[in-house]
Amino acid sequence: MASEEPLDSLSLTDQAVLLGVVALDRDGETPVQTPELRRVCKARLEDVETVVGTLTEADVMRSLYRLEDEGVVEEVDRAETSPTGKGRPAYALNDSPDAIVDAIEDDLVEGMDSS
């Protein structure tokens, strides 16, 4: 289980990406790949007053790598390949969605939940 301390030290971008994974997990749509996660995060961040910035696919991928290093998400092999024949990693939570939400910046959680 992830402790609150590492999540408090995550950047707002990493926290926003993690909340996107949480939202998709609650909808039963994980494991998730980067393009879908980016779309969900961008849509949910539209009305958030906390400054996160524009999320690129590269930002989302870097966040997922950091979140994986923290042990909050894990890469799951979906055995899917891209048009170029390379595998596309997909990610799922390693912790309960509620525990993660409790450990993230309240303003960000409220803003992304209201979207």
**Model confidence band, residue 67 (pLDDT cutoffs 50, 70, 90):** very high
In the structure encoding, which two tokens stand for residue 60, read together?
Answer: 């989302």
Residue with tokens 């993690």: 18
Look at residue 46 and tell me whether its pLDDT is greater than 90. Answer: no
**Model confidence band, residue 90 (pLDDT cutoffs 50, 70, 90):** very high
**Greater model confidence, 48 or 51:** 48
pTM of the model: 0.81
Contacts for 31-36: CB closer than 8 Å, 24+ residues apart: 31/76, 31/78, 31/90, 31/91, 31/92, 32/90, 32/91, 32/92, 33/78, 33/80, 33/88, 33/89, 33/90, 33/91, 34/60, 34/61, 34/64, 34/88, 34/89
Domain ranges of the chain: 4-113
What is the dotted CATH code of the domain comprising 4-113?
1.10.10.10
**Model confidence band, residue 95 (pLDDT cutoffs 50, 70, 90):** confident
